[in-house]
Chains A and B, each alone.
Chain A
Amino acid sequence: MAIESQPAPAAAGLFQTYHPLPGVYDEAQDENGQPRSHWAHFTRSTGRFHWEEWQGRREALRRLRRDFGSADQPGEKRRYYFGPDLDLVPLLISPEEWQRLEGGLRQRAHLFDLVMRDCLGPRRLLAEGALPPALLYANPAFLRPCASLGNQPGPGLSFMACDLVRDTSGRWWVLNDYTRSPHGAGPALQNRLALSRVLPGEFRDAQVRRLAEFFQSQRDMLRGLAPNRQEYPNVVLLTPGPFNAAWPEHVFLARYLGFTLVEGADLTVRDRRVFIKTLEGLQRVEVIFRFLEDSLCDPLELRADSVLGVPGLLEAIRGDQVTVANLPGSAMMEASAWYPFLPSLCRRLLGTDPELPSLETWWCGQPEGMAHTLERLDTHVVRPAFPGLPHRVIWPQNLTADRRKKLVRSIQENPYQYCCQAILKTATAPSLAEGRLEPREYVLRVFMTAARGDWTVMPGGIVQLLDQEEDTGVPIPSGVTKDTWIVSTASVPPVTLLSPAGQIVRLERNPSQVPSRSADNLFWLGRYAERLEDMIRVYRCVLARLADQTGNEMGQELAALARLLVHLDLLPARFQQPASLQSLENEILQRVYQSHTQGTAREVLARLRQLAFFLRDRFSGDTWRILAKLGEEPSTLAKGAQAAQALAYLNQLIVHLAAFSGMEMENMTRGHGWRFLDIGRRLERAINAVTLAQAGLSAEDAYSSPLEAMLEIADSSMTYRRRYFAQPQWLPVLDLLLADETNPRALAFQLAALKEHLQQLPREGHQALPEVRQIELLVELLAGAGLEGMVEARQNAGGSELAEFLPRLAAGLRDISNTLTHRYFSHANTQVN
C-alpha cells in the first residue's frame, strides 16, 4: 500500500525551476534547458535537497567562514573587499574549456612578462617602433626610477591575475589584468576550504581539481628567487599594514605559505642588503613577496610622502641583493591602453596570435581610437587608459548633456588618458536566492604564477557576482563571491585540504623572528590589558558599594574610597570632600562608558583593541573572537545606565579579559612575542601595586581607612582574610601588596617574573642586561626596606620613611620601562627630506 508522504523533491530540485534569461549563455543550462554535462553530477546531487537543506548548509557555510576568519568579524565595521558572502552554488567549468582558458592565460602571462621586462629594461620595443611612445610616456605607472630594474637577472612578473567575462554567446574575454600584486587568491582558497566542507559529496563526485599545488608552486617559485641561490632563503610578505583593505588576505597568505609577514618599517637596507629588524637584531631577507603599491616601495627614490616602504630598496635590487616579486614598476602593465596593441606584440614576441582576447578596446591616444570613441559614446563605456588616473569607468549614456560635453572636451584635451570599450552583456551563472536559483552576471578572477620558466594557472578562481546600480543599470560588484570548480575527467587524488597548513610542509623557521614593531605592540597590549583590568576592579569596588548605599550622603567608607580614587587619578579632585551619592555615581558611570574621554574604561579598551588589531596576525581565531567579544557595545549606554547595570557590564569585561589572558597563557608559544606581552602585563601590575599603596597612604584620615578597598582592588581580600582573620592593618596589607612573593598580585611576584623574562631576552654576548640589574636593585630595595619599621614609625611618630620609599620603587619601574623601550623598540620615526 502506498503511504502518503511529503511530496518528494523533484529529481533536479531547485535546478528544475531554474530559468536562465532567454538568448543569454548560462553556465549550468544549455539553450534547450538541459543541464550542461559537467553540471550533471552537481544538479543531480543537490536535486535531492529540500529548501531547508539548502538553508542549513548555507548557515553552516556562514559559520565555517566565520571560523576561518574570512567573513567579517563581529564588531568590525569595515567591509572586506571581496565581500563577506559566499554563494553555495559554485561555478563549474569543464576540463576541455579549462584547458583552452589555461593555454590562453599562460600565453598572456608570458607575453606580459616579456613586454614588461623590456619596458623596464632595454626598451627595444619602443626603439623599434613596436609601441606608440605615449603608451609609456603618458602612463603614470611607468616609474622612471624603476625603469632599469628589468635589466636585473631576476624575473619581471612572477604572479599575475586576470578578470574574465563571458559574453552572451559563451566566448571568454579578458576584462582586467593585475600585474602589481594580484589580490583574491587567498579568498579563493578560503572559499574552497569552506565550500568543500559544506558540500563534501558534491565536491568529491565532481572530481574537482585542487588548489594546493598552485600555492605550492608559488611558494617554491618565490624561494627559488633568492639572488644568492640559497637553499632556504628568508622570504617575507610585505604588506602596507592593517589599514589596507586586503590585509586579512596578506595575513592568510603569509601563514599559508609559511612566510613572515612584514611592514615596511620592519625592514631596513644596510650596504645594499635588506634585513628584517627582529629582537635578535638584523636578519637577512632574500626575497620579498610584495603587496605594496609601486610608488610606495622606496621613499628615497619614489613617493617621498609615505613611509610604508623601505628606503634603499631599489638600490638593493640594483645591487642584486634581494628579489622583489613582482618587480616595482610592474603596475605599468595594468593599463587598458595596452589592449589594442597586444595582438601585434604577441605575434612579434611569441610568433602567434593571442589565444584569449582582451575586451575590444580603443585608445584615444591614437587618432582612430579617438574618432571611434567620440562616435560611440552611446554604446560604449569610457575607461581610464592607465592606472593611477583620477577618473574611473564612465558610462556616457548616463550623463547629462552638459556633463557629456565636458567629457568630450576632456577626452580631446587629454586623449592619452582615455580608452573606450563596447558595453558587454555577459553570461549568467545560477546563484542561490531565497527558495530558488537565479541567473546572475559575474566576473571570474584567475591567477597565474611563474614556475620553472613557465607559468602555472590556479585550477580555479574567485567569482564575483554583479549587481546593477539602481538608477543607472551599471554593473557593480555585489559583495557575493563563488568558488570555481574545475571538473576533471580523471579521478583527483584524495588530498585533503581540511587544514590550511596540511598541504604545505613548512620550513622550521626561527620561531623567534619577531619584528621589533610586533614586540613593541605586544608589550603595550600587555600593559593595556592589565591597566583595563585594574581599572575595572577599582570602578567595580565603588559601584558595588553604591548599590548597597541608602540615603543621599556618602558613608565614611565610601568617602575614603572616593579619596583613594582621587589619588589614583581616577576621580577628579573635588571628590576629596564628601559629595552626594548621585554625583559619585554619575561620575563613575561616565568613566566606565564614555569612549571619547581619555582614561575611561572604554577608552583603554579601544586602545587595547587597536593594538590587538595591529597584532591580529599573531592571534588564533579563538583569541580573536574573545577580543571581538571584549569590544562589543555594552547593552545599556551611559544615559540610562544604573550602577547595577554598569556592574554587570564590568563583570562581563573582567570575564572576557580573563579569557583573553587564559588564551594567551595557554595558546601562545613561549617565544619572545609572548614574553613581551607578559613583560608588559607584569610591569603594569607592578606599577599599579605601588601606585595603590601610595594612594592608600594619602587617602587615609582619622575616621576611615581605605585598606579594605585596597585589598579588594588588588584582588587579595580572600588571602588576607584567610591569613589574618582580622580588620585590615597597614603592615600586613603592605606586606601582601608589595613584599609577598607568593601573592601573584604583589610587587615582589612581578619583579621575580620580570627578572626571569629579562634574562631570557636576546642580547649580544654574555653580558647581563642593564635592565636585569635594574630589577635586581629593586628586589634588594624591597627586601631591605624594613616595612615593619617604616609602618611603625609612621603610626607612632608620623614618620615619612614609607612615603619616601614608595616613590623610589615607582621611579625604578619607570626606568625599566624606558630601558626596554630604548633597547628593543628603537625604530624611531623615519623622516624623508
Chain B
Amino acid sequence: MRFHLSHRTEYVYETDVSVSHHLLRLTPFNHGRQRCLEHQLFFDPQPKSVHSHLDYYGNESVFVTLEGVHRRWRITADSVVECWPANHPAPADTPPCEQIAGLLAASALADDRAAVEFLHASPLIACRKEYAEYAQVSCAPGRPVLEAASELTRRVFTDFQFDPKATHVATPVDQVFRERRGVCQDFAQLQIACLRSAGIPALYVSGYLETQPPPGQPKLVGADASHAWVAFYCPGHGWIELDPTNNVLPSDRHVSVARGRDFGDVSPVRGVIVGGGNHILNVSVDVLRCDHHAV
C-alpha cells in the first residue's frame, strides 16, 4: 500500500514572536514493513536555519530556527510511504512471557541487547506492581508472549474507554489506569507500562492510521489524525506492533513516524518561542492512498 501523507502544523500567535526554535520529528522511518520513498518539509515563512540529525532512537530530528518578527508559522511535512502487511509469527512459536528478560540478558545479539533498554521505566512511564498485576492476567507463566500480548491488547481495548475529553497530552499513566479512559497516546503508554512491568520490552510508536470513511461517503481531507501504538520485543522475531486503541496488530494501514520510550521521545513538533503571548495551534493530517500509476 502506498500513501501520500501530509502533516500540517500552524501556529498563530497573539503578539509578535521574535525568535522561535523548533524540533520536528515528522519523517517516517524505514523498518520491516515500511519504506519512506519521499519526504519534504515546507515552511511559511522560511526559517533562518534548518539542521537535521538522527536522534538516539534513529528518528530524523530537524532543528529549525525562525528569526525575525512573525505572528504565524506554518510547517507542512509531505511524505510518500510504501507499507506492506506485517509478517507475524505463529503465537505458539513465540517464547513464554516469563523467559523474555532472561533470554535477552543471556543473548549476544545486538538487537536483543538493544531491546533491554525498553524493559526499564522511562520519564513518562513508571513500572509498578499494579501494572504488573493487570498484565499478569494475560501474561501467565508458560503462555507464548504473542498470545499474551495480543490478549492484553484486547483487554486494554475493552476495559478502557476512548474519550478525548478525559485526558490531555500530559496526563500521567497513573490517572489513565485509575479512570479507565483516554485516547491512543494514553492506551499505548498504559500498555507499555503493563508490558514492561511484566518483564517484556516495549516501545512507543507514533504515526498515522489511514481512516476509512463510512461506506458510500467520500473521504474528508484532514480527517486523519496522528496516532500512537505499541511495539514489544520478542526474541527471535524482533519488534511486534500492537494497537490497543483499535485492538489490531498494525499492518499496512499504520504508517510509523517515530519511536522511543514514551511520548516524550517522539513528540512531532516541539518548540521554544520568545514572545508571542497566547497562541493557537492548528494541526491537520491527511493520509491518502496513492494511485500507483500516478506516482
A301: CB under 8 A from chain B? yes
A133: CB under 8 A from chain B? yes
User: Across the interface, which residues of A come within 8 angstroms of B65, CB to CB?
Assistant: 269-271, 312
A702: CB under 8 A from chain B? no
Among B18-26, B178-186, B232-240, the one that faces the other chain is B18-26
A299: CB under 8 A from chain B? yes
A97: CB under 8 A from chain B? no
Q: What sequence of 0s and 1s flags, for each residue 260-289 of chain B, a beta carbon within 8 Å of any chain A beta carbon?
A: 110001000011111110010100000000
A830: CB under 8 A from chain B? yes
Residues B53 and A300 in contact, CB atoms below 8 Å apart: no
Residues B21 and A831 in contact, CB atoms below 8 Å apart: no
Q: A133-B117, A270-B65 are in contact. Are A830 and B18 (CB under 8 A)?
A: no
B120: CB under 8 A from chain A? yes
> A311–B18 Cα gap in the complex (Å)?
14
Residues B113 and A829 in contact, CB atoms below 8 Å apart: no
> A428–B232 Cα gap in the complex (Å)?
55
B110: CB under 8 A from chain A? yes
- The interface centre, meaning the residue of B108, B129, B274 with most chain A CB atoms within 10 A of its CB, is B274
A718: CB under 8 A from chain B? no
> A147–B55 Cα gap in the complex (Å)?
9
Residues A134 and B273 in contact, CB atoms below 8 Å apart: no
> A148–B56 Cα gap in the complex (Å)?
7
> A304–B110 Cα gap in the complex (Å)?
33
B292: CB under 8 A from chain A? no
Residues B272 and A137 in contact, CB atoms below 8 Å apart: no
Write the nearest CB–CB distance from B138 to chain A, whole angstroms: 21
Residues B51 and A833 in contact, CB atoms below 8 Å apart: no
B31: CB under 8 A from chain A? no
Q: A271-B65, A312-B63, A831-B272 are in contact. Are A137 and B51 (CB under 8 A)?
A: no
Residues A299 and B48 in contact, CB atoms below 8 Å apart: no
Q: How large is the interface on B (under 10, 10 to 19, 20 to 34, 35 or more residues)?
A: 35 or more
User: Across the interface, which residues of B come within 8 angstroms of A1, CB to CB?
Assistant: none
Residues B120 and A138 in contact, CB atoms below 8 Å apart: yes
Write the nearest CB–CB distance from A138 to chain B, whole angstroms: 5
- When C-beta atoms are compared, the residue in chain B nearest to A311 turns out to be B272
Residues A832 and B274 in contact, CB atoms below 8 Å apart: no
Residues B48 and A312 in contact, CB atoms below 8 Å apart: no
Q: Which of B35-78 contact A (CB under 8 A)?
A: 48-49, 51, 53, 55-57, 63, 65, 67
B116: CB under 8 A from chain A? yes
Q: A271-B65, A312-B63, A315-B63 are in contact. Are A300 and B272 (CB under 8 A)?
A: yes
> A122–B265 Cα gap in the complex (Å)?
20
A272: CB under 8 A from chain B? yes
User: Across the interface, which residues of B come within 8 angstroms of A319, CB to CB?
Assistant: 51
Q: A145-B56, A311-B21 are in contact. Are A832 and B272 (CB under 8 A)?
A: yes
Write the nearest CB–CB distance from B149 to chain A, whole angstroms: 21
Q: What sequence of 0s and 1s flags, for each residue 117-132 of chain B, a beta carbon within 8 Å of any chain A beta carbon?
A: 1011101000101000
Residues A828 and B275 in contact, CB atoms below 8 Å apart: yes
Residues B113 and A133 in contact, CB atoms below 8 Å apart: yes
Residues A833 and B279 in contact, CB atoms below 8 Å apart: yes
Name the contact of A312 in the complex, choosing from B21, B55, B56 (C-beta under 8 A).
B21
- When C-beta atoms are compared, the residue in chain B nearest to A273 turns out to be B49
Residues B116 and A137 in contact, CB atoms below 8 Å apart: yes
User: Across the interface, which residues of B come within 8 angstroms of A272, CB to CB?
Assistant: 49, 51
> A746–B261 Cα gap in the complex (Å)?
67
User: Across the interface, which residues of B come within 8 angstroms of A826, CB to CB?
Assistant: 18
User: Across the interface, which residues of B come within 8 angstroms of A312, CB to CB?
Assistant: 21, 63, 65, 272
Q: A269-B21, A269-B65, A833-B279 are in contact. Are A299 and B56 (CB under 8 A)?
A: no
Residues B275 and A270 in contact, CB atoms below 8 Å apart: no
Write the nearest CB–CB distance from A134 to chain B, whole angstroms: 7
- When C-beta atoms are compared, the residue in chain A nearest to B123 turns out to be A140
Residues B48 and A271 in contact, CB atoms below 8 Å apart: yes
Name the contact of B265 in the complex, choosing from A144, A148, A831 (C-beta under 8 A).
A144
Residues A830 and B272 in contact, CB atoms below 8 Å apart: yes
User: Across the interface, which residues of A come within 8 angstroms of B57, CB to CB?
Assistant: 144
Write the nearest CB–CB distance from A108 to chain B, whole angstroms: 28
Q: How large is the interface on A (under 10, 10 to 19, 20 to 34, 35 or more residues)?
A: 35 or more
A268: CB under 8 A from chain B? yes
Residues A268 and B19 in contact, CB atoms below 8 Å apart: yes
User: Across the interface, which residues of A come within 8 angstroms of B261, CB to CB?
Assistant: 144
User: Across the interface, which residues of A come within 8 angstroms of B274, CB to CB?
Assistant: 827-831
- When C-beta atoms are compared, the residue in chain B nearest to A416 turns out to be B120
Q: Looking at chain A's contact residues, is the secondary structure mostly helix, strand, loop, or mixed? A: loop
Q: Which of A779-833 contact B (CB under 8 A)?
A: 826-833
Write the nearest CB–CB distance from B162 to chain A, whole angstroms: 25
- When C-beta atoms are compared, the residue in chain B nearest to A827 turns out to be B274
User: Across the interface, which residues of B come within 8 angstroms of A829, CB to CB?
Assistant: 274-275
User: Across the interface, which residues of B come within 8 angstroms of A284, CB to CB?
Assistant: none
Residues B63 and A145 in contact, CB atoms below 8 Å apart: no
- When C-beta atoms are compared, the residue in chain A nearest to B129 turns out to be A413
> A301–B57 Cα gap in the complex (Å)?
14
Write the nearest CB–CB distance from B122 to chain A, whole angstroms: 9
Q: What sequence of 0s and 1s flags, for each residue 395-430 of chain A, a beta carbon within 8 Å of any chain B beta carbon?
A: 000000000000000000110100000000000000
User: Across the interface, which residues of A come within 8 angstroms of B119, CB to CB?
Assistant: 137
Write the nearest CB–CB distance from A610 to chain B, whole angstroms: 24
- When C-beta atoms are compared, the residue in chain A nearest to B278 turns out to be A831
A726: CB under 8 A from chain B? no
User: Across the interface, which residues of B come within 8 angstroms of A144, CB to CB?
Assistant: 55-57, 260-261, 265
User: Across the interface, which residues of A come within 8 angstroms of B56, CB to CB?
Assistant: 144-145, 147-148
Q: Which of A108-150 contact B (CB under 8 A)?
A: 126-127, 129, 133-134, 136-138, 140, 144-145, 147-148
Q: Which of A268-326 contact B (CB under 8 A)?
A: 268-272, 299-301, 304, 311-312, 315, 318-319
Residues B273 and A133 in contact, CB atoms below 8 Å apart: no
Residues B49 and A831 in contact, CB atoms below 8 Å apart: no
> A832–B23 Cα gap in the complex (Å)?
11
Residues A301 and B23 in contact, CB atoms below 8 Å apart: yes
Q: A144-B265, A270-B48 are in contact. Are A828 and B63 (CB under 8 A)?
A: no
User: Across the interface, which residues of A come within 8 angstroms of B48, CB to CB?
Assistant: 270-271
Residues A127 and B51 in contact, CB atoms below 8 Å apart: no
Show 25 residue pairs from A and B whose CB-CB distance is below 8 angstroms, ordered by the A residue.
A129-B108, A133-B113, A134-B116, A136-B117, A137-B117, A137-B119, A138-B120, A138-B121, A144-B57, A144-B261, A269-B65, A270-B67, A271-B48, A271-B49, A272-B49, A300-B22, A301-B270, A311-B21, A319-B51, A827-B274, A828-B275, A830-B272, A831-B272, A831-B276, A833-B270
For the complex with contacts A269-B65, A301-B23, 15 further pairs of A-B residues with Cβ separation under 8 Å are: A134-B116, A145-B56, A271-B65, A299-B272, A300-B22, A311-B21, A312-B63, A312-B272, A416-B120, A828-B18, A829-B274, A830-B272, A830-B273, A831-B274, A833-B271
Instruction: Please list the residues of chain B having a beta carbon within 8 angstroms of any beta carbon in chain A.
Output: 18-19, 21-23, 48-49, 51, 53, 55-57, 63, 65, 67, 108, 110, 113, 116-117, 119-121, 123, 127, 129, 260-261, 265, 270-276, 279, 281
Closest 6 CB pairs of A and B: A311-B272, A828-B275, A144-B56, A271-B49, A137-B120, A315-B63
